[in-house]
Structure 1
Amino acid sequence: MTAPLLDVKGLRVAFGGKDVVHGIDFHIGAGEKLALVGESGSGKTVTALSLLRLVQNAALSGAAEFDGPEGRRDLMSISEHALRGIRGKEIAMIFQEPMTALNALYPVGDQIAEVLELHEGLSKRDAHAAAVQLLAETGIAEPARRALSFPHQLSGGQRQRAMIAMALACKPRLLLADEPTTALDVTVRAQILELLADLQRKHGMAVLLITHDLNLVRRFADHVAVMENGHIVEHGPVQAVFNAPNHAYTRKLIDSHPARDVAPVPDTMDAAPVLEARGLRVSYPVPRPGIAGWFRKDAFVAVQGADFSIAPGETLGVVGESGSGKSTLALAALGLLRHEGALSVAGRKWTGGALYSHECVLAEPSR
């Protein structure tokens, strides 16, 4: 029997003397896709971070043997210097919140290129060209221009795709993917999953997928491990676990999948709108490539002539691909971005004071 690429035995993680991961066992073969699924707080992300010893102020014990170019080594006991040679090259990670993982002070293209310069020895020019290509492969439009953008200038989905491009840069043997498609629209989510599957087939890459999305598990993974309160309560092939779950918690997860019921239309559709926009337009200055960017900037139009209204009690859904302008539209409507066009709140022309009683829930709570 071939030894697994990663063999985890008795992994235990504790904070302040309290165990949050309780001696779990699992393994991943070369080219295998294992999904670790469970509710928020079940220990999924802590487990993935512990494999690369990225959990601060935690006591780790157990073993995690990884079959790399230099033979099998225990990730829990090798030196920090040896582990740095594995992180990003042999084992890469896609983090759930790219805004906290990406460096706000550098363009995303430079951050991807840095990985290639460090681990692959590419020149700055070649690394930048490869970074642009990686951005294109992950579905970012105008990748050459986006490579010059700072993280805050990208949409949430674009930042996530930049994070994915960075993780895939060195074609790792094992990819730890922590909710890799959370911020992506349905179309791009399918593209990213297809891309990960294609790279896996080409390079024999294994994937540990951390997710709460059961549909994602069904479509992508070969095996699934169900995690509850720091314990793996069920493990097996995806179809076997989903078709005949043995543990009560697994059955609870499957039964809790939300139904697709359409919300009723409120009776206030003919009332005066709470918020109304006419010809809403938002544009950003963007630098030109090279030295010309110091002297002249182009304009990128994020929202072009949008019209909408919201009646009292109504919920308006704004749907579109990542980068289509959804969040920009909402921020402009709340006066948080400069814009052109007409806005009125409860029949009054928009002013800052008119919006003091309204609230915006942002996509990334960590910000």
Structure 2
Amino acid sequence: MNAFTPPAGVSASSPGRAASAPLLDVRDLHVRFGAKEVVRGVSFSIAPGEKLALVGESGSGKTITALSLLRLAGNAAITGQAVLRGQRDLLALTEREMRGVRGGEIAMVFQEPMTALNPLMTIGVQIAEILQLKKGLTGAQCAQAAIELLAKTGIPEPARRANSSPHQLSGGQRQRAMIAMALASEPQLLLADEPTTALDVTLRGQILDLLSDLQRANGMAVLLITHDLNLVRRFADRVAVMEQGVLVEQGPVAEVFGAPQHAYTRRLIASQPRRDVAPADSPPGTLPVVHAQDLRVVYPTPLPGIRGWFKKGEFVAVQGATLSLLPGETLGVVGESGSGKSTLAQAILGLLPYGGQLQVGGQAWQQPAMR
């Protein structure tokens, strides 16, 4: 491992070093798996309280860069420096010292909560475990603090949700629980790896707003890893662009997006979906490929108590859906999780029983015949 080298012009014994240094200063980071080098000479810094976005297409090295900072990149060979508060090189610390940093001064929110949360432990117990390890709280203190953290992240009924297992929470609630766990130790830096990818557009906005609010309230810095440029515009102060393991451009968000200097950055910005889509050119009288009128889909649900033995309740998943799709046309069906989008599609395909009228190619859809 490389020994720590103080910033230029600052001696190792300078008393004001930590105050003037960035929170995290990454220098010439290289990450290699066997003969393959996946991160090459990456250098960037994060100031206290700053929001930096690390962007690039899948496989560009974003996540491996973040994992390497916490020495969680498996059997990777890592060289370079990652200097925390101008004092300690994270890449030169012992494993025991790193355990104090992970989940302490630096915390991480992972992309998929279901792979990061323990399925056999309740959310409250998992948060309490961190509070006990990192802050030395007692059992009762941990339980109360866990509920307060869940409340801060906007989870409804936090006391009840603290006793829930991960599979009993919605996708947005699981991500909020992950954020609560990350904030339990009051970290100085939060690494957020694609924290909204698996969420619908409404929840994405809520999670980003939550991270911004907590970042301001706690004064922590955030390294956001994402491929969504719209999220970067909305959230970050600065952006760093990675291509094939190399950091090709970085700077303030408005500056980089407004006048990108590197060809890859320009291609990345140009690759965003266009909104000027030409309408379908169908002659008058063209029959729609699909036409639905007052489509209704109902799921049977058990009633509580003895009544459930003899009678089923109803959950209306889709109500009064009317739509037409012409040849060559693209119809977008949008809505929050649980709004009935997938159920509507399955009904149109004949995979679910439905009420109302449904025509395909101008003819009534007879499900037995279509099978």
Where on the TM-score scale, by shorter chain, does this alignment land: which range?
0.7 to 0.9
Residue number among 21, 31, 39 corresponding to 1:13 in the alignment: 31
The equivalent residue for 2:318 is: 306
TM-superposed deviation, 1:98: 1.2
The equivalent residue for 1:363 is: none
TM alignment of 1:195-274, pairs within 5 A: 195-260=210-275, 269=288
TM-superposed deviation, 1:91: 0.3
Residue number among 162, 170, 178 corresponding to 1:147 in the alignment: 162
| 1:133 and 2:148 are equivalent in the alignment | yes
Letter in 2 for 1:257: Q
The equivalent residue for 1:184 is: 199
Instruction: Quote the sequence identity (%).
Output: 60
The equivalent residue for 1:297 is: none
The 1-side partners of 2:170 and 2:357 are apart by 26
TM-superposed deviation, 1:132: 2.9
The equivalent residue for 2:6 is: none
Specify the SS of the correspondent of 1:232. strand
TM-superposed deviation, 1:141: 3.1
- The range that moved more, 312-321 or 80-89, is 312-321
Residues 238, 28 of structure 1: CA spacing in aligned structure 2 closer, same or farther, 3 A cutoff?
same
The 1-side partners of 2:184 and 2:160 are apart by 19
TM-score, scaled relative to structure 1? 0.76
The 1-side partners of 2:341 and 2:288 are apart by 24
Letter in 1 for 2:67: L
TM-superposed deviation, 1:116: 1.5
The equivalent residue for 2:110 is: 95
Residue number among 80, 85, 88 corresponding to 1:73 in the alignment: 88
Q: Deviations over 1:244-277 (max 9, x none)?
A: 111000111111111235696896658587xx97
8 A Cα contact 1:174 1:205, kept in partner: yes
The 1-side partners of 2:181 and 2:355 are apart by 41
The 1-side partners of 2:185 and 2:260 are apart by 37
Residues 136, 316 of structure 1: CA spacing in aligned structure 2 closer, same or farther, 3 A cutoff?
farther
Q: Deviations over 1:107-156 (max 9, x none)?
A: 22322222122212223333233333333333333333333332223332
8 A Cα contact 2:239 2:251, kept in partner: yes
The 1-side partners of 2:163 and 2:42 are apart by 43
Which segments of 5 or more consecutive residues in structure 2 lack a partner in the other structure? 1-16, 305-312, 359-364
Residue number among 7, 14, 24 corresponding to 2:42 in the alignment: 24
8 A Cα contact 1:176 1:207, kept in partner: yes
Which segments of 5 or more consecutive residues in structure 1 lack a partner in the other structure? 287-300, 355-367
Q: Which has the larger radius of gyration?
A: 2
8 A Cα contact 1:36 1:225, kept in partner: yes
Residues 144, 10 of structure 1: CA spacing in aligned structure 2 closer, same or farther, 3 A cutoff?
same
8 A Cα contact 2:239 2:256, kept in partner: yes
The 2-side partners of 1:77 and 1:285 are apart by 60
How many equivalent pairs are there?
A: 331
8 A Cα contact 1:303 1:325, kept in partner: no
8 A Cα contact 1:282 1:332, kept in partner: no
TM-score, scaled relative to structure 2? 0.75
Q: Deviations over 1:261-311 (max 9, x none)?
A: 5696896658587xx97452366999xxxxxxxxxxxxxx99545335888
Q: Deviations over 1:3-53 (max 9, x none)?
A: 111111111111112100002111111111111111111000000011001
